């Protein structure tokens, strides 16, 4: 079977005996799978058990931390065309490679880099800011192995032009 077996001992499970709707808060492990199930078993009677009817996914997570914009546009990042800025993110779980992209005005994704080491996000990856002036820009980080795992800046940030005046 391709199902992952995960045993979570629950100290005090005897307290669940008389509770028809027991709740167990589970810290999800780093066992990335598309075929997880939950099984509840009586530790004292292995023939007394039940299992979830359907499988579910345990997947990694991504969170963009820079640029992340601000709910108040006056406080958001303002990056200049031609400058080099740093894109940062954190990951939860295991993933190898990510793709970096951005959108302008909720348009189509523009890709910055492919095959970036997922662990590089904490220190950050440099980005040469393109000539894409707009006040509605967001960065996106996508797990290459599972494109449904992604995150985008929470709020818009700015790409601004710069006027150099030398009299």
- pLDDT tens across 112-159, in order? 998 999 999 999 999 999 999 999 999 999 999 999 999 999 999 999
pLDDT-derived band at 1 (thresholds 50, 70, 90) equals: very low
Q: Taking all residues of the chain, what is their mean pLDDT, rounded to a whole number?
A: 85
pTM: 0.76
Q: What percent of the chain has pLDDT over 70?
A: 84
pLDDT-derived band at 7 (thresholds 50, 70, 90) equals: low
Per-position DSSP letters for 34-86, written without gaps between them: EEE--EEEETTEEEEEEE-SS-EEE--EEEEEES---SSGGGS-EEETT-EEE
- C-alpha to C-alpha distance for 79 and 162, rounded to whole angstroms: 10
- C-alpha to C-alpha distance for 50 and 9, rounded to whole angstroms: 16
pLDDT-derived band at 90 (thresholds 50, 70, 90) equals: very high
**End-to-end C-alpha distance for the chain, whole angstroms:** 75
SS3 139: strand
Between β-strands 97-104 and 134-143, what pairing exists: parallel, antiparallel or unpaired? antiparallel
The least confident of 45-59, 62-76, 114-128 is: 45-59
pLDDT-derived band at 24 (thresholds 50, 70, 90) equals: low
- Average pLDDT on 71-75 reads 92
Question: How many CB atoms are closer than 10 A to CB 121?
Answer: 22
Q: By CB neighbour count within 10 A (0-12 exposed, 13-18 middle, 19+ buried), where does 136 fall?
A: middle
Which residues have C-beta within 8 Å of that of residue 121, sequence separation ≥ 6?
Answer: 62, 65, 87, 88, 89, 90, 91, 98, 141
């Amino acid at each position: 079977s391709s199902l992952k077996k995960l045993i979570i001992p629950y100290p005090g499970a005897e307290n669940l005996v008389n509770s028809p709707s027991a709740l167990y808060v589970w810290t999800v492990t780093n066992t990335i799978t598309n075929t997880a199930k939950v099984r509840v078993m009586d530790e004292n009677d292995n023939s007394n058990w039940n299992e979830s009817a359907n499988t579910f996914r345990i997947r990694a997570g991504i969170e963009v931390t820079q640029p992340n914009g601000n709910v108040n546009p006056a406080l958001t990042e303002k990056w200049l065309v031609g400058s080099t800025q740093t894109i940062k993110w954190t990951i939860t779980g295991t993933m190898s490679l990510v793709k970096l992209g951005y959108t302008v005005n909720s348009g189509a994704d523009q890709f910055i880099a492919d095959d970036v080491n997922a662990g590089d996000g904490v220190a950050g990856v440099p980005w040469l800011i393109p000539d894409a002036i707009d006040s509605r820009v967001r960065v996106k980080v996508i797990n290459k192995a599972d494109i449904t795992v992604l995150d985008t800046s929470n709020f818009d940030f700015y790409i601004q032009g710069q006027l150099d005046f030398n009299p």
